[in-house]
Amino acid sequence: WIMSDPFQLAQRLQARRDQHLYRQRRVLESPQQAHIQCDGKTLRNFSSNDYLGLANHPAVIAASQQAAVEYGFGSGASHLVIGHSRLHHELEERLAEWVGRPRALLFSTGYMANLGVISALLERGDTVVQDKLNHASLLDGAQLSRGQLQRYQHNDLGSLQQRLQQASSPVLVATDSVFSMDGDIAPLQDMAHLCQQQNAWLMVDDAHGLGVLGQGHGCLREYDLSLEQVPVYMGTLGKALGSYGAFVAGSEDLIEFLIQSARSYIYTTAMPPSVAAASLASLDILSAEPWRVERLQDLIGRFTRGALAMGLPMMPSSTAIQPLLVNDSERALQLSAQLLERGLLVGAIRPPTVPANAARLRITLSAAHSEQDVDDLLDALASK
Ligand SMILES: *Cc1c(COP(=O)(O)O)cnc(C)c1O
């Protein structure tokens, strides 16, 4: 007896393998940190988004343990039904203050925050204009909404302007601040200016900027962007903050509107209070230890100078995300496997996460790396 396969899963999986696009998960046997245990081996981790080394920080762990003792583990229901604790509330207030906005609203993940915001704001006939390389969650938010999706060429103001002139209003423009697979930064001040001229709202996804740019406060601080310039800000807590979850920050009206209308906010269980406590502890560390952001910058500088001197085909980036363009997916897998043999964990990023024929090694740096880690990676890359 053979189970029927109307969706042709076996063929579709085989096609993925044939194209070197098949993905497999690595099973870790240690906390998320600069040096991890995997398959009984110690690997130097250049694949994580834990940019400040907070995911395994003792104070973050202690805060979540303490909160679990005080508040129990599960949150019990959605924020609106009964799941909103004092810790969730305090975290919203602290996040709003940290990024310089009147209010903030927690979401369980960044993916859900992006889906929730875009689908709540846009009604039939409205337009959302997005960078072609935006994170999947922003693009999926547009698909879920009743609005029209228009895409412009990556970081191209002329292309954005063209879309804006054709778009039926109201218009939301959405962009990553730091692009997750490229590491480059959107021209946010110019975009804000253009959006204000065209009476469009700008939404910025700062998943890779929060904790890294603006002394850790994110892109709004780095580029001095007012509430009028960026009415919708989204930040995540699972990357540089080493925790889990996300938030949207903006005006009183925006937040109240999302509480009433964002379906991925309303129809889901709130994050456990201990997770909120972990994020609060991360914020404490961020303000008490500005050296982490500076150290990350120093290591980024060390890596980019070294890579430049060796003539490596790096994509231009001044952030913690340093992609080395390989193009061919099979070759990217080979390089990643060779680095692994030398104890260096660097992910091969392939389509559909990146455009066709744009496979790359995505190297991420962390304040938890040593200078030796960075130098050893450069040595290994140079010998390829
Ligand atoms: C990771 C990421 C998200 C999703 O955040 P999660 O909290 O992991 O769901 C959204 N946008 C960008 C740009 C990201 O890199």
Place of tokens 């979540």: 64
> Taking residues 219-246, what's their average pLDDT?
98
Rounded to the nearest angstrom, the distance between the alpha carbon of 43 and the centre of ligand 1 is 25
Tell me: pLDDT of 78 over 90.
yes
Helix (H, G, I), strand (E, B) or coil at 9: helix
| For the CA of 178, the nearest atom of ligand 1 | 13
Question: What's the confidence (pLDDT) of residue 53?
Answer: 98
| 110 close to 137: Cβ distance less than 8 angstroms | yes
Indicate whether residue 207 lines ligand 1 (CB < 6 A): yes
| 324 close to 381: Cβ distance less than 8 angstroms | yes
Indicate whether residue 53 lines ligand 1 (CB < 6 A): no
Neighbours of 315 (CB within 10 A): 17
First-last CA distance in the chain: 49
Indicate whether residue 262 lines ligand 1 (CB < 6 A): no
Indicate whether residue 135 lines ligand 1 (CB < 6 A): yes
> Taking residues 190-209, what's their average pLDDT?
98
Q: Burial, 7: exposed, middle or buried (Cβ in 10 Å; 0-12, 13-18, 19+)? A: exposed
The mean pLDDT of the chain is 96
Q: Is 132 known to be catalytic?
A: no
> Taking residues 1-16, what's their average pLDDT?
93
CA–CA gap between residue 107 and residue 123 (Å, rounded): 21
Catalytically annotated residue among 239, 243, 264, 336: 239
Pocket test for ligand 1, best of 95, 107, 132, 137 (most atoms within 8 A of CB): 137
**String of b and e for 294-308 (b: at least 16 CB within 10 Å)?**
ebbbebbebbbebbe
Indicate whether residue 79 lines ligand 1 (CB < 6 A): no
| 378 close to 306: Cβ distance less than 8 angstroms | yes
Q: What percent of the chain has pLDDT over 70?
A: 100
Q: How confident is the model at residue 172 (pLDDT cuts 50, 70, 90)?
A: very high
Q: Is 233 left (phi over 0), alpha (psi -120 to 50) or beta?
A: beta
> Taking residues 209-238, what's their average pLDDT?
98
Rounded to the nearest angstrom, the distance between the alpha carbon of 345 and the centre of ligand 1 is 21
Question: What's the confidence (pLDDT) of residue 366?
Answer: 98
- What are the structure tokens assigned to 265, written together? 């906010």
At residue 115's C-alpha, the angle toward residues 114 and 121, to 5°, is: 90
Q: How confident is the model at residue 238 (pLDDT cuts 50, 70, 90)?
A: very high
CA–CA gap between residue 238 and residue 50 (Å, rounded): 8
Catalytically annotated residue among 64, 75, 177, 180: 180
| For the CA of 180, the nearest atom of ligand 1 | 15
276, 252, 226: which is closest to 107 by C-alpha? 276
Question: What's the confidence (pLDDT) of residue 2?
Answer: 84
Question: What's the confidence (pLDDT) of residue 1?
Answer: 78
Q: Is 317 known to be catalytic?
A: no
172, 184, 98: which is closest to 133 by C-alpha? 184
CA–CA gap between residue 153 and residue 282 (Å, rounded): 36
**Residue at 270: amino acid letter:** A
Q: Is 180 known to be catalytic?
A: yes
Catalytically annotated residue among 79, 88, 135, 208: 208
Element (H, E) at 130: strand 127-131
**Residue with CA nearest ligand 1 atom 1:** 207
Q: Burial, 341: exposed, middle or buried (Cβ in 10 Å; 0-12, 13-18, 19+)? A: exposed
CA–CA gap between residue 320 and residue 346 (Å, rounded): 13
Q: Report residue 2 CA to chain centroid gap.
A: 42
Rounded to the nearest angstrom, the distance between the alpha carbon of 383 and the centre of ligand 1 is 33
Tell me: pLDDT of 260 over 90.
yes
Tell me: pLDDT of 384 over 80.
no
Write the pLDDT tens digit of every residue in 280-321.
Answer: 999 999 999 999 999 999 999 999 999 999 999 999 999 999
Write the pLDDT tens digit of every residue in 324-378.
Answer: 999 999 999 999 999 999 999 999 999 999 999 999 999 999 999 999 999 999 9
